[in-house]
Structure formats: C-alpha cells, structure tokens
Amino acid sequence: MEDKIVEVPGSVLSRGLQRWRSMLHWVRDVPVADPVDRRNAPMLQLVSFLLAVLPTAAWCYRALLVDIPWRPGEVTGMVFGLSVSAISALSLVLVRKGKFRAASHALLAVFAATVIPAYLVAGFGGQRFEQPVLAIWMAIAALAVGRMALWLMFLCIAAAFGLGIAVDIDKQGQAVELLGDAAFSTAIFLMIAVVLDRSSVALRESLREAQARGDALDVANRRLTEEMAERERTFAQLVQAQKMEAVGRLASGVAHDFGNVLAVAGGYVRSGLRAGDAAHMRESLVGVDSAVNRANLLTRRLLSLARAEDGVEEWFDPGEALKALVPMIGQLMGPDVKVDVVLGADLPALFFDRMQFDLMVLNVAANADHAMPGGGRFSLRARRDGDRLVLDLADTGAGMAGDVLAHAFEPFFTTKPRGQGSGLGLSVVRDLVQRAGGSVKAESQAGVGTTISLCFADALAELAEAEAESGR
C-alpha cells in the first residue's frame, strides 16, 4: 500500500512566497554601479520583458484569432512590432550584464527608428494595436534616461500620429473624422508625458536626496567609529597614567619595605653564619628564603601594576585580593593615618580584571590620603549585597562641598594645586566599574569626610542571561 503525501496549504504558500522573494532578489541583483540606475534596473527589466512578450502576443492574437481582413500596411506594422520585441529581449540581456545605459538607449533608439516608418506604411488606423505600448516607451525615456528623452519620445509619437493620419486621409479621404482621432490621441499622450515628467523629476530628486542622506550617514558612521576608537585609546592611556601615578606614590614605601626585607634577610644570614648545627642553619636559610619571597612578591605586584598591557578578566576572590593590597595601602598612607580593613564573610567571587581592581582601590586610597594631610582614618569595608560585591572606601578628611561633589567624577576635575593631581582618578574608577556593568556612588560632607562606594555587577547572573540569549 503506497503512502499518500498530503500538501499542507500553509507549506505551499510558504514555498510560493520563498520563490517570489528569490525572483525579486534575482531581478534586483544586477552589476550596475550608479545608484539611480540600479534602482531603475528592475523597472527596465520588467518593461523589456513586457515589450518582448506583449506585442508578440498581440500580433499572434491578431493573426490567429481575429477574423478581420488585414488592413493595408498592417503586416509591415507587425514586422516592426516584432522587431521591437526582439530588441527588448536583447535589452533585458544587457541589463542582466550590467549595461543599463546601453539597454535603455538601445530601446529608445529602436523605437525612434521604427515608430515613424511604421505609421508611414500602416497609417494611423493600422497601428491602433500598438498605441497602448507607446506609453511604455515614454515611461522608459522618463525614468531611465531623463526629461529630454521623454519629450523627444513624445515628439516622435506626435509626428508619427500626424504622418499616419496623412496616410489614412490620402487613402480614405475622411479628413475631419481622422483628424479628430489624431488630435484626441495626441492630447492623451501629452497628458501622459506631463505626468511622467513631473513623476520622474520628483523620483530622481528623492533618489538623489536619499543617496545624499545615505552618504552623510556613512560619513557620520565612519566619524563615530573613529571617535569611539580614539576614545578607547585615550581611555587606555588614562588608565596607564593612573597606574604610573599609583606606582610613583608607592615608590618611597616600596623602598622602605625593601630595606626592611634586606634587614630581615641580613639578620637570618648572620644567624646562619653563627649557627653551630645543621638544624639552626636550615632554620636561618628558611628565614632568608621567606624574606626573598616577600621581596619577589612585592616586585611582581609593582611591575604588574605599572605594565601597559590589555586587561584580562578573570574570576578571583575579592577578599584575598584586598588582603594582598593592605601592605600597599599602608605604604600609600601617611604615618598619621590609621587603616581599617573589614572583610565580610562569604564575599561573592568577582569576574573582573585583577590589575584594574587593584588600580581602583589604590586610586581611591591615594585620594583619601591627599584629603588627610594631618592624619585621620581610612576604612575599607567589603560586603555582600545580594549577589553583588560592594566596596565602601571612607576617609575622615576634608570632604567636599556640594558643588565640588557634583563634578567629582568628571575627567581632569581636581581641587589640588597644579602639578599635584591629574583629576583622572575617580573618572577612571567610574568608567572601569560602569564598563563592567556596575555603579559608583560618592557621599561627602565638608569637614567630615568622603565615602566612595563601588557596586560590582552580578557576573553569574549576567553570564546566565547571555547564555539564555544566545540559546534563543
């Protein structure tokens, strides 16, 4: 038993629409450079196709299905009409090859060369089957070439009508009736020419305006792309400038730390030299190794902070990162500044660039130190807010008045004397956090102090949302 395949109407409609879209794409896909000609190419292809098919079909109908004796000259008119159909088919091929202008001029030249001889041979009445097609020629001239070609085509048609009527009057002698027919037909084609003239002018103007707007948008888009790239380069330079500023602030403290490390290592060396047994010697060597490791760690942290490299986002424990920063924060602060670090329990993991994270904390700490020249307290508190990490960095310094606080995050805004600050620290901090989907808030009061709160985005939630979007 054979299975029967049942066509679903919806699938048939879908395939039909797909074939129609494919055909439209084929008609529009022509290698024509000029934008106006490229827009007119589908129209010229359609006209060429119709001129290749319709006159042929009309004359076949006349020859095979109309039981009327052939008028004098009608056969000659048929020959002219079929020759036009052949040239129209050639024009269609030329358009497909990208030769739009050649195709349109060929059609108009053939029309001008055939319409007057056809009316001279067949007369006005012998060409009645062809008259509706004449409007198509005028449309081609108006849309594909221009106004001059349109009115030349109209003059050719008017001249052909006049010569055809003269031939009919000479043969039939009914001057008044025939002249009325010619005048009526000429008036109709004059109205068609006026409408086509206005329409073609409006169409070309709108196409030129659309092209000009498109060119302007392309220029604006390129300029915007260049400005965005320049902004990215400038931002990278600002980040590097902040790194170097932080490194400069740390230099003296690092030198002090290295002195302490060398002193510890020297003490262990001297102890080892005095050691009387292997166990005592091993204990001294372990102490020297610990001091060297501390010096290496300090060096690597300082070099990684100063290095001009692209940031790499990674998962890390913010608590461990802040613990590693405590010695460096201590070096940033003056001797009369007390540093408090409170790390909450169960802090969420952070997906961020580790070096940029260190840079932000050090920048805020440096600003706090500048605000407390006579000493004070700097506190760093890390807490969990839902699934987000929040850092509160507070100082008991001079604080900021409302008008200063309003500009605190603007690039290059600073209240420090010339040469003592770039005004980029808080601006870079804000941009880094916001680029990662977080937010920054500042609270300050003159004479009381300032608190900078950094709220980092929930990286896990954003990752899950991105995966859900990509899976749709």
Q: Pinpoint the residues of the chain covered by CATH 3.30.565.10.
A: 313-471
Residue indicated by tokens 């169409």: 203
- CA dihedral 100→106→112→117, nearest 10 degrees, is -150
> Does 350 score more than 80 pLDDT?
yes
Residue range 250-291, pLDDT digits in tens: 555 455 456 555 655 676 677 778 777 878 888 778 767 766
Architecture in CATH of 313-471: 2-Layer Sandwich (3.30)
Residue 146 CB coordination number (10 Å) = 14
CA dist 401 and 334 (Å) reads: 24
pLDDT at 411: 61
CA dist 66 and 59 (Å) reads: 10
> Does 1 score more than 50 pLDDT?
no
CA dist 177 and 166 (Å) reads: 12
In percent, the amount of the chain with pLDDT more than 70 equals 76
Residue range 84-141, pLDDT digits in tens: 788 888 888 888 888 887 887 777 777 777 777 778 777 777 776 667 777 777 877 7
| Higher-confidence position of 229 and 453 | 453
Min mean pLDDT across 130-144, 205-219, 360-374 is at: 130-144
For residues 359-363, give the mean pLDDT. Answer: 79
Cα-based angle 177, 183, 185 (whole degrees, multiple of 5):
105
Extract the tokens encoding 35.
């934008």
3-class secondary structure for the chain?
A: CCCCCCCCHHHHHHHHHHHHHHHHHHHHCCCCCCHHHHHHHHHHHHHHHHHHHHHHHHHHHHHHCCCCCCCCCHHHHHHHHHHHHHHHHHHHHHHHCCCHHHHHHHHHHHHHHHHHHHHHHHCCHHHCCCHHHHHHHHHHHHHHHCHHHHHHHHHHHHHHHHHHHHHHHHHHCCHHHHHHHHHHHHHHHHHHHHHHHHHHHHHHHHHHHHHHHHHHHHHHHHHHHHHHHHHHHHHHHHHHHHHHHHHHHHHHHHHHHHHHHHHHHHHHHHHHHCCCCHHHHHHHHHHHHHHHHHHHHHHHHHHHHHCCCCCCEEEECHHHHHHHHHHHHHHHCCCCEEEEEEECCCCCCEEEEHHHHHHHHHHHHHHHHHCCCCCEEEEEEEEEECCEEEEEEEECCCCCCHHHHCCCCCCCCCCCCCCCCCCCHHHHHHHHHHHCCCEEEEEEECCCEEEEEEECCCHHHHHHHHHHHHHC
| Higher-confidence position of 314 and 6 | 314
pLDDT at 210: 76
pLDDT at 389: 93
Q: Which of 156, 158, 60 is nearest to 108 (CA)?
A: 156
Confidence at 308, pLDDT banded by 50, 70, 90: very low
pLDDT at 48: 79
